[in-house]
Amino acid sequence: MSRQSNRTTDSKKMNAELFTLTYGALVTQLCKDYENDEEVNKQLDKMGYNIGVRLIEDFLARSSVGRCQDFRETADVIAKVAFKMYLGITPSVTNWSPAGDEFSLILESNPLVDFVELPDNHSSLVYSNLLCGVLRGALEMVQMAVDVKFAQDTLRGDNITEIRMKFIKRIEENLPAGDE
Amino acid sequence: MADDVLFEFLHMEMVSHIYKDQASRGEMDKDRATCVSTLEGMGFRVGQGLIERFTKDSPSFKDDLDVMKFICKDFWINVFRKQIDNLRTNHQGTYVLQDNKFALLTPFSSGKQYLEEAPKYLAYSCGLVRGALSNLGMDCVVTAEISLMASCKFQVVIQKI
């Protein structure tokens, strides 16, 4: 009886495992293809970007979040709504720069690295670099140019996983020539 | 959690990356086969991992048909959020699994549009099934075919040793 009910509630989690394992297979494949960690990082970021520009539409449609007034609100939405919705975690937002244009997301657990250990010869591989691309791509679609990178990563022996986000500029909407 | 969207997008990126990567190396004809086998190989490894976790609490299987039923039901629900619509077998080691609304194809079209592109998006899933069956002790060849969009048939042929 208990087993049966377990199985149904676990189905969401199982699907997350599919994502985690698929991501693992992808990173493995990229490592094989490029044999160079920097290049793998770049590819992951690029793929993340492509995902982000499409994911933002899904996100806006599902969450009914409106336009953000400032970068602080953006940070809140990312951490409390977006991360929760797609990865089931709520990172904390800390380390604001005095100018309010930079902050850190602290991830207590990172679902992408659930079954992962990095071998020694991949010291410069940023395993979850896809996330940076996703964030950058998604924010670009709401007229925000942002620099995203991993500052710390538990996979590489740090105590926490930290994603550093820096606001660069607001992207002006390009009106077609001759259009007011 | 809405991670099925994540998986779908990731899968699309994966397919496009592998095909782009191969296309840039030239020799298109040979490459089509390598692309499929790369994707299939990735799926295989993931299928192996998934089945270990799915069958953690399930009772052991009676026979091959029992295994196939598990794949059609529990495995498919966990991975693609629905059951296989139709399972047929010739009782000699060939099974045909038909999904009338395959999750990875539904966003494309519901007719003949993009029919040529569609097979790219099945290789990974074939691998998933083959990997799962392989870890349950069944060596198989899994292929897929589409006649009309979003509906596809997976054919599983058990290899006799």
- Among A116, A131, A121, A154, CA closest to A31: A121
- CB pair distance less than 8 Å for B50 and A28: no
A51 has a chain B CB within 8 A of its CB: yes
Residue B157 has pLDDT above 80, yes or no: yes
Residue B111 has pLDDT above 60, yes or no: yes
User: pLDDT tens digits, residue range A5-55?
Assistant: 344 444 455 578 899 999 999 999 999 988 899 999 999 999 999 999 999
Interface ipTM: 0.90
pLDDT at A30: 93
A96-107 burial by CB neighbour count: b if 16+ within 10 A, else e?
A: eeeeeebbbbbb
Helix B3-23 vs helix A37-63: crossing angle, to nearest 10:
140
Residue of A nearest to B55 (CA): A7
Q: Phi and psi for A105 in degrees, rounded to 5?
A: -105, 125
pLDDT at A172: 84
Give alpha helix (H) positions in chain A: 2-34, 37-63, 71-76, 83-87, 129-140
Q: Which of A4, A20, A27, A29 to mutate to test the interface with B (most CBs of B within 10 A)?
A: A29
pLDDT at B140: 95
- Among B7, B16, B6, B71, CA closest to B39: B16
The band of A2, judged by pLDDT with boundaries at 50, 70 and 90, is very low
Helix A2-34 vs helix B3-23: crossing angle, to nearest 10:
30
- CB pair distance less than 8 Å for A15 and B54: no
Hunting for tokens 């991993």 — which residue is that?
A: A150
Residue A63 has pLDDT above 60, yes or no: yes
User: pLDDT tens digits, residue range B2-56?
Assistant: 568 899 999 999 999 988 876 666 555 557 788 889 999 999 999 999 999 888 8
For B73, the token pair is 């039901």
pLDDT at A144: 93
Residue of A nearest to B16 (CA): A47
Residue of A nearest to B21 (CA): A33
